[in-house]
Structure 1
Amino acid sequence: MEGLAGATEDEALRRRPLRIGGRSVAWVAPLLVLAAVTVLDVATGERYRFVSWIVLVPGTAAAVCGIWTTAAIAVLSLATYLALDTAWPGQYEAGLPDFLLVGLGGVLATLACVIRLRRERGMLHMRDIADTTRRTVLRPLPPLWAGLEHAALYLSADAEARVGGDFYDMQPGPHGVRVLLGDVQGKGLGAVETAATLLGTFREAGYHETDLAAVAERLESRMVRHRAYTAALGRPDGDRFATAVLIGFPAAESGVVEVVNFGHLPPLAVGPHGIRPLPAGNGVPLGLCDLVGGLPPLWRVPLAADETLLLVSDGITEARDASGEFYPLRAELARAIAADPGRAEPRRLVRRVREGVLRHTGGHLADDTTAFAVRRARARARAPRAPS
């Protein structure tokens, strides 16, 4: 973070798209404009002078080039203006006023470039802060952990959107493995703080509590306390809540999973033979259970050995294309599984979701997008051979 605070102009330019083979070619655009103005002025003769249009060249450079490149192109534009204008007889010359216009345009373009790069560095710094915060909340998980194999997807929304509150984690313990995925209402650092609070509680309760219902109760209690805390501070997000789905893989039963759903999208069981949703449970979000008099019910659902549980945030199901159509998650997955049953494997499943969402939205995400796929590992992956 400290390094980004002192980011140079080159660092900001490295993230711009006008690059070929790792080298910037942004200078080509203003030079093409300069060449076009030159050809146009020479070709139209003395009756139509276009030499003053050279003032557009530094402005073009300011939009895509660095400071020194913009300044150099501004000087080149001024020299080209002099060469073109003095080549004509005196009565056809544009003269000193347009010369001053081109010179002033070059100065203003260079200043505009300085301001643009300063704002870009600030934006990159804020994006780095958001990414660092997100990585702190969403800790790295081993790809094969406690007999489960999994894959995760997190896509940040467009730069204009603030960081959101999507979260996920898995916690092995003596009573099995617990998985949590949720979405805190709202955006900004307050949402990230709430997500971190819930994940901390989940990691402790998921390990120590015998029953999944007790883990759910601890999460609800923590959310209520966090809301009271933020309200006592006088913050405007004191009524924040979170949707979440809590999954338990019991240690003693391999063909069953337990589900508690706090108003979240129901998980999908994806296998070679198709897709089926797990019960939604009709639960309310975390922090609101007192409004309905209790926690959501705990469901025990059979899960085949070749089925993968897919948990997603509403950033996926509410992703829209240019015409406003929602991303058809289940239909897309059903077609993919029918064509290749092996796509039910967690990594391939998450990769398919990622590609489908980005293709559907054209890469423009309106909300953070999260998916978590998990299933019991095959026996050969869970128990590697002992060394001879």
Structure 2
Amino acid sequence: MRSLQVLRWLPFVVMFGVALLDLLGGRNLVFLPLLTLGPAFASVSGGVRRTALVGAVALAILVPMAIYNGLLFTWENNLTVVSILGVTGASMLASRLRLQRERELASVRQVAEAAQRVLLRPVPRRAGDLRVALSYTSAAAEAQIGGDLYEVVTTPHGVRLLIGDVQGKGLAAVETAAWVLGAFREAAYDEADLADIGDRLEASLARHLGREQFVTAIVAELGDDEMTLVNFGHPAPLLIQPDGELRTVEPPEQGLPLGLAAFDPSAAKAHRTPFGRGDRILFFTDGVIEARSPEGDFYPLTERAGFLTRDDPQAALDALRADLVEHTGGPLLDDAAMLLLHRPH
């Protein structure tokens, strides 16, 4: 907000600065052609009318300054008038095009965000004997809505979840996320084996994705004292044990992302990890670990995992999200989804 106010007043500051410089320079040095900077700067943040107003102010400053310098009606001054009129007209056109583009981007962003809200249903706070917490932070750069996706469902086969990240941005990514979520919600109930769920997801994407497009994802199933996972090229989750020990749940063999099965027909393999009383596990998308500070440092997730040991999982995840935003020092450049599961004692 403060930077916007600075931009709004910058044209006037520049023009009066030019007038002051011309007065201090005497009649031998004429800086009046620099008044064209006023309407040029106005087009950056102002509307068409404001840009025209700045151009009129530039002409209003020019006339008395030209009289002071003895240049009124000279060809040099007439050329300056034409320059101000020309730059003002061009700046008004640029301002109109900028505002039109901003409205289009805002419309696209609203549509994409509405689509995401429909697709990404609120996860249940409890699933079986598990407590579930969710944090989703949307990227704030123009219309760069991402394709992060998640789902937690209780099925006859147990509690199953999906977290994923679609390659790309915008409405195309949201559409792909819709296909993945739809296929998972059906397959999670129908298929007894996690690998078969992966096959269903792959088959669905093969019908809708273009060549070399992909989706990284993890499909997981929670058992009584263990968890089964199939990792399709997604960042490995972080397991937090009751004593505070951290462990990254890496798959024995890294599987390819969904949509790239044609490059390697061998399916991603399921693997198991203990998940008992008091354990917590954090699933996340790469927008978390790839978030950079103003100095360019990646977010140190494992070093900040202490936030996740709070009693309330949602409060713990909210604290971690606040720390993530503080680390970046501003809006995230990519969507960041985090899903925390806790099995109480």
TM-score under structure 2 normalisation? 0.83
Q: Aligned residue for 1:3? A: none
Partner SS state of residue 147, structure 2: strand
Moved more, 165-174 or 150-159: 150-159
Mapped partners of 2:39, 2:267: distance in 1: 66
Tell me which residue corresponds to 1:382.
Answer: none
- Residue 147 of structure 2 is matched in structure 1 by 165
Show the 5 A alignment for 1:101-116. Answer: 101-116=83-98
Following the alignment from structure 2 to structure 1, what is the Cα–Cα distance between the partners of residues 7 and 291?
A: 33
| Structure-1 residue corresponding to 2:199 | 220
Indicate whether 1:270 and 2:240 are aligned: yes
Query: 5+ residue gaps in structure 2?
Result: none
Tell me by how many angstroms 1:356 deviates.
4.5
Number of the residue aligned with 1:127: 109
Task: Report the CA distance between 1:31 and its aligned residue.
Answer: 1.4
SS of the equivalent of 1:141 reads coil
Aligned counterparts of 1:142 and 1:66: Cα–Cα separation in 2: 46
Quick one: which amino acid aligns to residue 185 of structure 2? Answer: R
CA distance in 1, matches of 2:152, 2:77: 73
Residue type of the alignment partner of 2:100: R
Q: Is the 8 A contact 2:249 2:273 kept in 1?
A: no
Q: Is the 8 A contact 2:120 2:150 kept in 1?
A: yes
Cα gap change, 1:163/1:277 in structure 2, threshold over 3 Å: closer, same or farther?
same
Q: Which deviates further from its counterpart, 275-284 or 345-354?
A: 345-354
Structure-2 residue corresponding to 1:31: 12
Q: What is the letter of the counterpart of residue 249 of structure 1?
A: L
Q: 2-side partners of 1:222 and 1:27: how far apart?
A: 51
Distance 1:183 1:268, change over 3 A: same
Q: In the alignment, is the contact (CA less than 8 A) between 1:205 and 1:215 conserved in 2?
A: no
Task: Verify the 8 A CA contact 2:231 2:268 in the aligned structure 1.
Answer: no
After superposition, the Cα gap between the structure-2 partners of 1:91 and 1:264, relative to the gap in structure 1 and judged at 3 Å, is: closer
For 2:35 and 2:295, locate their aligned partners in 1 and report how far apart those are by CA, in whole Å: 40
Query: Does the alignment pair 1:311 with 2:294?
Result: no
Question: Comparing 350-359 with 105-114, which one deviates more in the overlay?
Answer: 350-359
Work out the CA distance in 2 between the residues paired with 1:144 and 1:353.
Answer: 20
Task: State whether residues 112 and 170 of structure 2, in contact with CA within 8 Å, keep that contact through their aligned partners in structure 1.
Answer: no
2:22 aligns with one of 41, 62, 83: 41
Indicate conservation of the 8 Å contact 1:262/1:296, yes or no.
Answer: no
Counterpart in the other structure of 1:372: 339
In 2, Cα distance between equivalents of 1:82 and 1:176: 81
1:302 aligns with 2:279: no
- 1:346-385 matches, within 5 Å, as 346-363=313-330, 365=332, 367-376=334-343
> In structure 2, do the counterparts of structure 1 residues 68 and 91 end up closer, same or farther at CA, with 3 Å as the change threshold?
closer
Q: Distance in 2 between matches of 1:262 and 1:222?
A: 11
Measured after TM superposition, the shift of residue 311 of structure 1 is: 0.6
Match of 1:51 in 2: 32
Q: CA deviation at 1:240?
A: 3.7
CA separation in 2, counterparts of 1:29 and 1:287? 50
Q: In structure 2, do the counterparts of structure 1 residues 324 and 60 end up closer, same or farther at CA, with 3 Å as the change threshold?
A: closer
SS at the partner of 1:27? helix
Shifted more, 312-321 versus 70-79: the winner is 312-321
Secondary structure of 1:126's match? Answer: helix
1:52 is displaced (CA, Å) by: 2.2
Alpha-carbon spacing, 1:47–1:144, altered in 2? closer, same or farther (3 Å): farther
Q: Equivalences for 1:309-348 in 2 at 5 Å? A: 309-321=281-293, 325-333=297-305, 341-342=309-310, 345-348=312-315
* Match 2:138 to one of 155, 171, 189: 155
**TM-score, normalised to structure 1's length?**
0.75
CA contact (8 A) 1:265 1:280 kept: no
Cα distance in 2 for residues equivalent to 1:158 and 1:332: 25
- Please, which of 275, 282, 305 is the counterpart of residue 253 of structure 2? 282
Aligned amino acid, residue 64 of structure 2? A
Q: Does structure 1 retain, via aligned residues, the 8 Å contact 2:231–2:254? A: yes
Amino acid at match of 1:313: T
Paired with 2:151 and 2:313, the residues of 1 have a C-alpha distance of: 15
Separation of aligned partners in 1, 2:65 and 2:337: 58
Q: Deviations over 1:11-41 (max 9, x none)?
A: xxxxx7645xxxx675322111122112112
What residue is the counterpart of 1:244 in the other structure? Answer: 217
CA deviations 1:34-68 (Å, max 9, x no partner) are 22112112222211122221111111111111221
Shift of 1:283: 4.6
Unpaired runs of 5+ residues, structure 1, are: 1-15, 379-388
1:138 to 103, 111, 120: 120
| Deviation (angstroms), 1:215 | 4.1
| Contact 1:62/1:113 (8 A) holds in 2 | yes
User: Structure 2: which amino acid aligns with 1:263?
Assistant: G
Alignment partners' CA distance in 1, 2:147 and 2:34 = 49
Per the alignment, residue 43 of structure 2 pairs with 62
Partner of 1:197, secondary structure, is helix
Q: Matches of 1:165 and 1:191 in 2, distance apart?
A: 5
Query: Quick one: distance in 2 between partners of 1:373 and 1:363?
Result: 24
What corresponds to 2:182 in structure 1? Answer: 200
CA offset digits 1:139-174 (Å, max 9, x no partner): 2334455552312223327448x5443211111234
Q: State the SS of the aligned residue for 1:140.
A: coil
C-alpha change, 1:219 and 1:189, in structure 2 (3 Å) is farther
User: Does the CA-based 8 Å contact 2:123-2:132 persist in structure 1?
Assistant: no
Q: What is the alpha-carbon distance in structure 2 between the residues aligned to residue 326 and residue 284 of structure 1?
A: 24
